[in-house]
Amino acid sequence: GEPFERGALMSTGENLLHVLNTLESRAMVLEAELKEIDDDINLNASMTRKYGDEFFADGSARLTQIRAEKQQRLAEIRGQLHDTSQSVRQGKQLLGTLSTEYGHPMAPPPVILDDSSRDEGRSPTRILTSSPILAQKRTPR
């Protein structure tokens, strides 16, 4: 794993981008490894036909096991990437719904919320909003 300090210094968006990029690159490596393993399995099968099963049975079993493990990892990565993509789509739909409430032309002027707290290891956040409730906020927190 990577050191906690690195994750603490990155914003949520940077962390998400780092995770997605890393998963996508690992998926590409696994796909290339699986192709190579398939080639080796086929070569091993050819050698078995030529020279007999006694020399290549263990290798074939090991290659099949490695292939299954890598295929499982690739399936996990693809599932995570699919779930993330679906979550982003749902988030966009939610933002579209919220824009009718907070983004209409009669909304008050935008307010910048400044959350400078660093509790829970999060980066400070500045949020632009046109919330009528927050526009009339009495005291800054």
pLDDT digits (tens, 9 = 90+) for 70-84: 999 999 999 999 999
| Selection from 118, 116, 114 nearest residue 137 by Cα | 114
Q: How many beta carbons lie within 10 A of that of residue 63, not counting itself?
A: 19
Q: How many beta carbons lie within 10 A of that of residue 130, not counting itself?
A: 17
Pair 67, 44: CB distance under 8 Å: no
Tokens of 22: 């890393």
Q: What is the pLDDT of residue 48?
A: 94
Output the CA angle 85-88-91, nearest 5 degrees: 155
Mean pLDDT score of the chain, rounded to an integer? 80
- Ranges of the chain whose pLDDT falls below 70: 1-9, 102-141
